[in-house]
Structure 1
Amino acid sequence: MAVAGVAVTLVGVVLLLVLAAEAGLLRPELRVAGGIALAGALVGVATRLRRRPGGRIGAIALASTGIAAAYLDVIAITTIYKWAPAPVGLLLAAVVGGAGLALARRWDSEHLGLLVLLPLIVLAPVITRGVDLLLVGFMLALSAAALPVQLGKDWSWMHAARVAATTVPLLAALVAMSRHDHPWLIGAACGVAAILAIASGLILLPASKNAGALAVLTAIGTMPVLAAGIAVDRMQAALLAAVLSAVMLAIVLVGHRPRIVTQIWSAWAAIAALVAVTAAFAGYLEGPVLLAMAIIVAIAGRHDAVARWIAAGFGIIGAAMFYSYAPLFVLIRATARPTSIAVSTLAASVLVVAFVVVLARAWLGVDRTQRNSDLAWILGVAGGSLVIYAVTAFTVTAGVLTGGANGGFLAGHMAATICWIGMAAGLFVYALRLAAGERRTAPITAGLVLTGAATAKLFLFDLATLDGIFRVAAFIVVGLVLLSMGAGYARSLASSSPREQT
Structure 2
Amino acid sequence: MTEPHQAALHRLSEEFTAMSRQLARVATQLSELERTMPAAPAQQPYPGPVFTPPAAAPPMHHPQYQPQTAPPSPQPAPPAAYLPPRAPGPPKRSLAERISAAGERGLIGKLLAVAGVAVTLIGVVLLVVLAAQAGILRPEIRVGAGAVLAGGLVAIADRLNRRAGGRIGAIALAATGIAAAYIDVIAITTVYHWVAPGVSLIIASVVGGGGLVLARHWDSEQLGLLVLVPLLVLAPIVTGGITLTLIAFMLVLSAASLPVQLGKDWVWMHAARTTAVTLPLLLALLINRVVTGDDPWLIGAACGIAAALAIVGALILMPWITSRVVMALVTVAGVLPALAAGVTGGRVLAALLAAAVAVAMLAIVVTGRIPGVTGAVRQIWSALSAVSALIAVTVAFNGLVAGPVLLAMATVVTIAGREHRVARWAAIGFVVVGAAFFVGSAPPRYLTNPTVLPTSVAVSTLAASLLMIAVAVAIAWSWTAGEADLDDGIRLLWTGVVAVTAYCVTTFTVTAGVLMAGLDGGFLAGHMAATIGWIAIAAGLFVYALRVAHRDARTAPIAGGLALTAAAMVKLFLFDLGTLDGIFRVVAFIVVGLALLGMGSGYARSLAQQDR
Task: Bin the TM-score by the shorter chain.
Answer: 0.7 to 0.9
Q: CA deviation at 1:67?
A: 3.2
What residue is the counterpart of 1:57 in the other structure? 168
- Sort the Cα spacing of 1:254 and 1:493 in 2 relative to 1 into closer, same or farther, 3 A: closer
In 2: Cα distance, 1:386 partner to 1:306 partner: 23
Q: Work out whether 1:469 is the aligned partner of 2:552.
A: no
In 1: Cα distance, 2:349 partner to 2:153 partner: 49
- Sort the Cα spacing of 1:469 and 1:22 in 2 relative to 1 into closer, same or farther, 3 A: closer
What residue is the counterpart of 1:224 in the other structure? 337
Q: CA deviation at 1:391?
A: 0.6
- Sort the Cα spacing of 1:272 and 1:102 in 2 relative to 1 into closer, same or farther, 3 A: same
Gaps (5+ residues) in structure 2? 1-110
Range 115-124 or range 434-443, more displaced: 434-443
What residue is the counterpart of 2:376 in the other structure? 260
**Map of 1:386-425 to 2, 5 A cutoff?**
386-425=500-539
In 2: Cα distance, 1:37 partner to 1:233 partner: 45
Q: CA deviation at 1:204?
A: 0.7
Counterpart amino acid of 2:273?
R
Task: Please say if residues 208 and 256 of structure 2, whose CA atoms lie closer than 8 Å, have aligned partners that are also in contact.
Answer: no
Residue of 341, 352, 362 corresponding to 2:457: 341
Q: CA deviation at 1:14?
A: 5.5
What residue is the counterpart of 2:403 in the other structure? 287
Task: Please say if residues 129 and 238 of structure 2, whose CA atoms lie closer than 8 Å, have aligned partners that are also in contact.
Answer: no
Q: CA deviation at 1:443?
A: 2.2
In 1: Cα distance, 2:136 partner to 2:492 partner: 76
In 1: Cα distance, 2:122 partner to 2:264 partner: 33
Residue of 323, 327, 339 corresponding to 2:443: 327
CA deviation map 1:99-128 (0-9, x unaligned): 321211111111110110112233222232
Q: Work out whether 1:191 is the aligned partner of 2:295.
A: no
Residue of 168, 176, 190 corresponding to 2:287: 176
Counterpart amino acid of 1:470?
F
Counterpart amino acid of 1:164?
T
Q: CA deviation at 1:157?
A: 1.0
Q: Secondary structure at the match of 2:165?
A: coil
**TM-score of the aligned structures, taking structure 1 as reference length:** 0.88
Q: Secondary structure at the match of 1:66?
A: helix
Range 120-129 or range 343-352, more displaced: 120-129
What residue is the counterpart of 1:449 in the other structure? 563
- Sort the Cα spacing of 1:427 and 1:135 in 2 relative to 1 into closer, same or farther, 3 A: same
Gaps (5+ residues) in structure 1? none
- Sort the Cα spacing of 1:116 and 1:263 in 2 relative to 1 into closer, same or farther, 3 A: same
CA deviation map 1:339-383 (0-9, x unaligned): 111111111111111222333333344x549x9955434432332
Identity, % of aligned pairs? Answer: 62
Q: CA deviation at 1:59?
A: 2.5
Compare the two structures and name the one with the higher helix fraction: 1
Structure possessing the higher radius of gyration over alpha carbons:
2
Task: Please say if residues 480 and 490 of structure 2, whose CA atoms lie closer than 8 Å, have aligned partners that are also in contact.
Answer: no
- Sort the Cα spacing of 1:353 and 1:18 in 2 relative to 1 into closer, same or farther, 3 A: closer
In 2: Cα distance, 1:19 partner to 1:197 partner: 35
- Sort the Cα spacing of 1:28 and 1:291 in 2 relative to 1 into closer, same or farther, 3 A: closer
What residue is the counterpart of 1:484 in the other structure? 598
CA deviation map 1:403-444 (0-9, x unaligned): 211221111111111212222222223223334643222222
Q: Work out whether 1:248 is the aligned partner of 2:356.
A: no
**Larger RCO, structures 1/2 (Cα 8 Å, 6+ apart):** 1
Task: Please say if residues 93 and 120 of structure 1, whose CA atoms lie closer than 8 Å, have aligned partners that are also in contact.
Answer: no
- Sort the Cα spacing of 1:296 and 1:54 in 2 relative to 1 into closer, same or farther, 3 A: same
Q: Work out whether 1:380 is the aligned partner of 2:494.
A: yes
In 2: Cα distance, 1:228 partner to 1:18 partner: 32
| C-alpha RMSD of matched pairs (Å) | 3.1
In 1: Cα distance, 2:265 partner to 2:205 partner: 24
CA deviation map 1:94-153 (0-9, x unaligned): 444233212111111111101101122332222322223222222211111110111111
Q: Work out whether 1:120 is the aligned partner of 2:236.
A: no
Q: Work out whether 1:460 is the aligned partner of 2:589.
A: no
Q: Work out whether 1:214 is the aligned partner of 2:330.
A: no
In 2: Cα distance, 1:195 partner to 1:69 partner: 29
- Sort the Cα spacing of 1:283 and 1:343 in 2 relative to 1 into closer, same or farther, 3 A: same
**TM-score of the aligned structures, taking structure 2 as reference length:** 0.73
In 1: Cα distance, 2:278 partner to 2:179 partner: 22
